[in-house]
Every structure is written in structure tokens, then in C-alpha cells.
Chains A and B, each alone.
Chain A
């Protein structure tokens, strides 16, 4: 399987903290990969580097063959990024927002219209799209943002904690959408979360990260077997404990 993302020895040091230490993994086409780990593990930092927002202290990553350090512009053409707890421009209507964001990915008005049509299908917001985003509930805003992130059919959609702060029903809806897009259209996803149960449901492969170290990567059933655990949460617990002893 050809890889959409290849991360090679990525590290990031903030002024004092070594937030990400020598992280490597890859994501295949149509695959949903999740970085899981506790707060402050370095998930967002890793994701921001891959999204070309932060420059790595060392290491590199390629998205569809383009290097995040050498050709960040090329990388940005192939990804979309949804930050955790992201908002949208509150004074815009949902529709205006989609149009504006579409205009950043294409200059062809017909293409932009196609993006918007697709986003409408995915977010199912209907007429509410004509209202200002400031009147949206959290779940509606998230659906809008998710539809924005996938409407351009990027090679890799990067979603940082896509369901955090949502109620169960909204979270389920978001997960279903992600799964559907991956299975039916072959879109690749990089997610992050600290909700293990959710990840167990949605992702194909996971990477467990804590204190900046990526400890294990693998398919979920594979990991459950290896650590002899009934669910991902216990896998996680064992991995962390094992690494503390080392």
C-alpha cells in the first residue's frame, strides 16, 4: 500500500520542553490513523508540524511525497487541518465560510461550488447554513468545520480531537462521517484523541504517545492481542506502565 504520510524521526523542542521526541510512523492510503495519549503527550505538536505550522527541531515528514520542511507549500495543497477546539469566523454565515475557505484551495468558481455542494451533503445543516456561525451550537459548528476539512478531498485530513466537547450523538455522527469517507472514498485521516473507546471504534491503526515518545504503533486488534488486553484503554495502560519501568 502506498503511503500518504511518512513521518521520520520528528522532534520538537520548545524553549525548554522537548515536546516531541523522535517520532516516526506512516499512514497508508484510505487509512484512519490515530495518535492517542494523555494531555501534554505531544499530539498537537506532532500534528502542527505535519500541518506545516511549526518547524521541526529535527526530522522530517512527507505528505504525498512532498517534504514538510522542503516543500511546505506543496504539502498544504494536499492536506486540510482542523485544530482542536477550533472556531470559525463568527460574523460569517456558514455558507460564506465554506465559500471563503474554498477560495483558498481553488480559484475556479465552479470548483468552489462543487466543494460547497459536497460540504452541504456532509454536514446536513441545510438552511441553517444561511445563518451566522455565531448562532450555531457547538455540534453544528463542528459539523461545519469537518465538512470544510473534507470538502476539498485532500490526500490527508488532519483532525485534532475532532469530537472533544461534543455530546454522544454528535460525536457518533462525526465518527461515522470520518469512517464513511475513508471507506467509500479512500480518504486518509490523521486523528488525535485521548478518548480510547472512540478511537477503538473509528481508527484502523493507532500510535500511543506519552511524554513526547511514540511508544507503539499498530492495528488495534493486533495490539490487543500483543498486550493481552480486552480493550484499547488497557493496552494503553500497559504500554505506559511498561515504558515507565524501562
Chain B
């Protein structure tokens, strides 16, 4: 009962106009950020055009096709994969490639007999990071091949370009994606579309959760310290533990509320951004964007009869999460929130005036920003070792990489990260409790060694 009295008060303090304002701020920041992001994507796709290609058909026509590609400013690196058949995992591994385009045997024959020739691609995905996926440069090459083929077909059948465009895609594209040693007939675009949810929206939720929880609790403690209401509270007949618990619980509730609102706003924005991009970006991105929005296969792969359903392919690649995985992610999130609460409690206890409370969260914010941006733009595991070590030392990195790690089969990394976080949490909790259960909650300050200057004139004078 006394506890609910405390909890009610904490909730009322936290959920106010100020919180709503900062929530709006966050939504705005992410919208601006989302726009920046979409323009980087289009640039990455436009500028890069170099492909590794294996010509298994090796006819006069395919050779002239390659020459035309080069004339169109596509750098073509030729290798021979005819010995490996359709073992794309080993083709990519042997040649140390990220992606390859294969012109299979019978390509020219099909074209000659008026059928749609088949073009095969294989791409390895190491993570769901945006840059990792879009730096796949073969899509530019494929577009060029499509153009050249269209011209060729037009030339042969005597129909105009416009008519041709209305007919259909000139070729059948069989896309393969390789993930941790497994391969499946699905385009990376389709996978990106599928994991976009997790890759883009989840970090936002985590980010908001961490920031808001920390801010709320830190504010709740430091304001009470500054106004000395904390002393009044601590001298009232309620236990310190219940005061602390009420604050932590209220901060968590407020944080979850924030996360939900932000998630809804952000996913709505993502859907809108996807439409905007599709208006003027190149094909590949167009497809990815549409996929992201509707989860439908793109026009090229849609024609494939042998194509697996996206769901099936994802499972084949080991990309779906099992209930055990979700449980692990839940534990991971819980540990993360607890770490935040403990850190902000310690920081809040350090604050002695209002000015400090503005800046004291900066280190924590940095600790969240760094892994957040990395999780969106790059794959932590591909960073140089020293940087990687530093990034891994930030406990929140492991929260951002939890789901990708589980999806892409880096279970060891996930477990390692979780263990590290639990140890980190234990240390934080130890300090937080020590502070709150001792004089330190009142006597601690940032002015190390500096004696407090007292107001008023001493009576001896």
C-alpha cells in the first residue's frame, strides 16, 4: 500500500508533458535520420558497378554480352565455376567472394529458341547490416545485363523498346543467398525485406528503451537530491528498498510506454520512406523497398516457378528464430534494462546541482549511440580487432547484436555477450545497492576533493 503510494507518485512525475515532448523529439530525430539513411542507400547502389561473373555457357553471344557490359562501365572479373555445379557455398568460399553472377550452360540456346534465358546469382550475407547488404554490387551488373538482353531481343524480334518494357522481364533470375554455410534460392533483397523489421525497428526500440529509462530514473533521483525531497523520503517510515524499487519500476513502465509509441511512429515512417525511395531509386533498391513494405517477392524473382517461399527459404537458411531464441532475446533485454537502471541510479546519485544533471548522462548516451549506429551501418564482427574489442566492451553492443547473432548463427557470440552483460550487471548492481544503502546516496558528489563553499557568514567573524 505504501509502495503503491510511492509508485503512483513516481509514475505521475515521469509521465508528464516533458516526457511527451522528448518523445516527440526522438521521433523527429529518427525521421531526419531515416531520410539521411535513404539517400546514402541510393548513392551506394548508383556508384558501384563491378561484378564477378562466371560464363559457363561461353558462346559468342555471352562473350559479346560481357564485352558490352564492360563498354557500359561495368568492371567484369571473370572466373570459371563450371566444375562446382550449383554448390554456391563452396564457389563463394573458394574464390573468396561476396557475390557472383553465373551465366549457366544453355543460356544462348534458350535465347535463340525464344525462351527466357536463366541467369543465376549467389550472394553471401554475413549480417543484416544495411551497408553489408547493399554493397552487394552485382545488382548493377544484372540491370545492365537485362538492358543489353532487352536490346538484343528487340533487335531480333523487331519490336520497339517501349513494347518490350511492357511485355516482361527478358530473363529469368535465379537468386541464391548463402548464410553461414547454407544456401537457399532466395534473393538477398527478400531477406533484407524480411529482416528489415528486426534490423531497423528493433534497434530503435532498444535505443529508446535505454535512453528513456536512464533519463527517467536519473532525473527521478537527481531531482530529489537537488530539492532535498530525497532526504525527506529517506527519513519517512518506508524502506529504502521500496523507494528504490518504486523508482525503478516506474522508470521501466515509462520506458516501455515510450518504446511502444516510438516503435509505432517509426514503423509508420519506414513504410512511408519505402514508398519515397521506390519513386526515384534504382531497381534493386526499389525492389528491396517494396519488399520491406509489403513482404512480397519482387517482379523478377516472382516469375520463378522453382522459387521457395520466403518463409521456407528463411528457415532453410536458419534465419528464423525459435521460441528458445525469443526467450534468450527477452532475457537479454531484461538484463539490458537492469544495467541501465543501475547505471542511471549511480549517475543520479552523483548529481548535486541541476546543471550537472544535464550532462551527466552523456557517457551513457555515447555508450548507446556507438553500438546503435554500428548495428545499423556495419557488422561489428567485420571491424578491426582493436575497435571490435572496444565496441564489445560496451555492454549495449550485445543487446543490439543479439537478434542478428542468433539469426545468423553466431550463437557463441550471443552467449558470450550475455555472460559479459550479466557480469557487468552484477558489478553495477553491487555498486548501486552499496550507494543506496549507505551514506553515499547523500554524500557522493562529482566535486572530488573540492570542499563545499558554504553560504552566509560564519558567526565568529
B73: Cβ under 8 A from any A Cβ: no
Q: Give residues of chain A (80-118) contacting chain B, Cβ–Cβ below 8 Å.
A: 80-92, 100-101, 103-105, 107
Residue interface bits B363-381, CB-to-A below 8 A is 1, else 0? 0000000000000000000
Give the residues in chain A near B442, CB-CB below 8 Å: 48, 53-54
Q: Is B9 an interface residue (CB 8 A)?
A: yes
B184-242 with Cβ < 8 A to chain A: 226-229, 231-239
Closest to A102 in B: B5
A104 lies within 8 A of B237 (CB)? yes
* CB atoms of A87 and B227 under 8 A apart: yes
Q: Indicate the member of B226, B228, B232 with the most A CB atoms within 10 Å.
A: B232
A82 CA to B229 CA, complexed, in Å: 9
Is A218 an interface residue when CB atoms closer than 8 A count as contact? no
Q: Is the Cβ of A88 less than 8 Å from the Cβ of B227?
A: yes
Closest-CB distance, B216 to chain A (whole angstroms): 14
Q: Which residue of B lies closest to A103 (CB)?
A: B5
How many whole Å from A208's CB to the nearest CB in chain B? 10
B460 in the interface (beta carbon within 8 A): yes
Do residues B439 and A100 form an inter-chain contact, with CB atoms below 8 A? no
Q: In whole angstroms, how far apart are the Cα atoms of A22 and B458 in the complex?
A: 22
Does residue B2 face the partner (Cβ distance < 8 Å to A)? yes
Report Cα–Cα, A73/B442, bound state, in Å: 18
Whether B443 pairs with A14 at a CB distance below 8 angstroms is yes
B458 touches A39 (CB 8 A): yes
Chain B interface size, as a band, is 20 to 34
Q: Mark contacts of B123-156 with chain A using CB atoms, 8 A cut-off: 1 yes-contact digit, 0 otherwise.
A: 0000000000000000000000000000000000
Complex alpha-carbon distance, A103 and B227, angstroms? 20
Instruction: Please give the distance in Å from B413's CB to the nearest CB on chain A.
Output: 43
B235 partner, pick from A38, A53, A84, A210, beta carbons under 8 A: A53
Is A236 interfacial (CB 8 A cutoff)? yes
A39-B458, A103-B2, A194-B456 as given contacts; A76 in contact with B235, CB under 8 Å: yes
Q: Which residues of A contact B48 (CB under 8 A)?
A: none
Complex contact B439–A86 (CB within 8 A): no
For residue A162, CB closer than 8 A to chain B, the reply is no
Task: Say whether B235 contacts A80, CB under 8 Å.
Answer: yes
Indicate whether A89 sits within 8 Å of B9 (C-beta atoms), given known contacts A76-B236, A81-B232.
Answer: yes
**B235 to nearest A CB, angstroms?**
4
**A interface majority secondary structure:** loop
Instruction: For the complex formed, measure the closest distance between the CB of A82 and the CB atoms of chain B, giving whole angstroms.
Output: 7
Contact A86 B228 (CB under 8 A): yes
Which of B5, B231, B438, B459 makes the CB contact (< 8 A) with A38?
A: B459
Q: Which of A119-159 contact B (CB under 8 A)?
A: 158
Q: Which residues of B contact A107 (CB under 8 A)?
A: 1-2
Contact A81 B231 (CB under 8 A): yes
Selected from B1, B235, B455, the residue in CB contact (under 8 A) with A39 is: B455
Contact of B237 among A85, A105, A196 (CB under 8 A): A105
Question: Binary interface profile of A, 37-48, with partner B (CB < 8 Å = 1, else 0)?
Answer: 111100000001
- Contact partner, A101, options B12, B236, B443, Cβ 8 Å: B236
Query: Is there a chain B Cβ closer than 8 Å to A79's Cβ?
Result: yes
A51 within 8 A of B: yes
Instruction: Tell me if A200 is interfacial: C-beta within 8 Å of chain B.
Output: no
* A181 CB–B CB distance under 8 Å: no
A240 at the interface (CB under 8 A from B): yes
| Cα distance A81–B228 in the bound complex, in angstroms | 11
Among A37, A87, A92, contact of B228 (Cβ-Cβ < 8 Å): A87
The verdict on A52 contacting chain B, using a C-beta distance below 8 Å, is yes
**Closest B residue to A149 using CB positions:** B232
The answer to whether A104 and B227 have CB atoms under 8 Å apart is no
Contact indicator A104/B229 (Cβ below 8 Å): no
Q: Digitize A50-77: 1 where CB-to-B-CB distance is under 8 Å, 0 elsewhere.
A: 0111110000000000000000010011
B58 close to A (CB within 8 Å):
no
A101 to chain B: which residues have CB within 8 Å?
A: 232, 236
| Interface flag for B13 (CB, 8 Å) | yes
User: Is B239 a contact partner of A83 (Cβ separation < 8 A)?
Assistant: no
Interface residues of B in 445-461 (CB under 8 A from A): 454-460
- Interface pair B229/A87, CB less than 8 Å apart: yes
Smallest beta-carbon distance A240→chain B, Å: 6
Asked if A86 meets B235 with Cβ closer than 8 Å, knowing A14-B443, A55-B439, A107-B1, the reply is no
Write out, one digit per residue, whether chain B residues 1-21 have a CB within 8 A of any chain A CB (1) or not (0).
Answer: 110011001001100100000
Q: Considering only CB atoms, which chain A residue lies closest to B457 in the complex?
A: A39
Residue among B13, B237, B456 facing the most chain A CB atoms (10 A cut-off): B237
Q: Would you list which residues of chain B between 1 and 47 have a CB under 8 Å from chain A?
A: 1-2, 5-6, 9, 12-13, 16
Question: For the complex, what is the distance from the CA of A100 to the CA of B45, rounded to whole Å?
Answer: 60
B234 near A53 with CB under 8 A, answer yes
> Which residues 193-208 of A have a CB within 8 angstroms of B?
194, 196
Hey, which chain B residues are within 8 Å of A83, CB to CB?
A: 228, 231-232
Q: By the criterion CB–CB under 8 Å, are B443 and A81 in contact?
A: no
User: In the complex the two chains form, is A91's CB within 8 Å of B1's CB?
Assistant: no
Contact check, B438 vs A55: say whether CB atoms are below 8 A apart. Answer: yes
In the bound assembly, the distance between CA atoms of A105 and B5 in angstroms comes to 11
Q: Is the CB of B229 within 8 A of A88?
A: yes
Interface positions of B from 335 to 361, Cβ below 8 Å from A: none
Contacts known (A51-B235, A240-B460); A89 close to B229, Cβ less than 8 A: yes
A2–B167 Cα distance when bound, in Å, is: 104
The answer for the CA separation of A55 and B437 in the assembled complex, in Å, is 10
Q: List 17 A-B contacts (CB under 8 A).
A: A14-B443, A39-B457, A48-B442, A53-B234, A55-B438, A81-B232, A83-B232, A84-B228, A86-B227, A87-B229, A89-B13, A90-B227, A92-B12, A104-B5, A105-B236, A105-B237, A196-B459
Given contact pairs A38-B459, A87-B228, a sample of 6 additional A-B residue pairs in the complex whose CB atoms are under 8 Å apart: A14-B443, A40-B458, A107-B1, A194-B456, A236-B459, A240-B460
Residues of B participating in the A interface, judged by any CB pair closer than 8 Å: 1-2, 5-6, 9, 12-13, 16, 226-229, 231-239, 438-439, 442-443, 454-460
Those 6 A-B pairs whose CB atoms lie nearest each other, nearest first: A87-B227, A103-B5, A81-B235, A38-B458, A38-B459, A39-B454
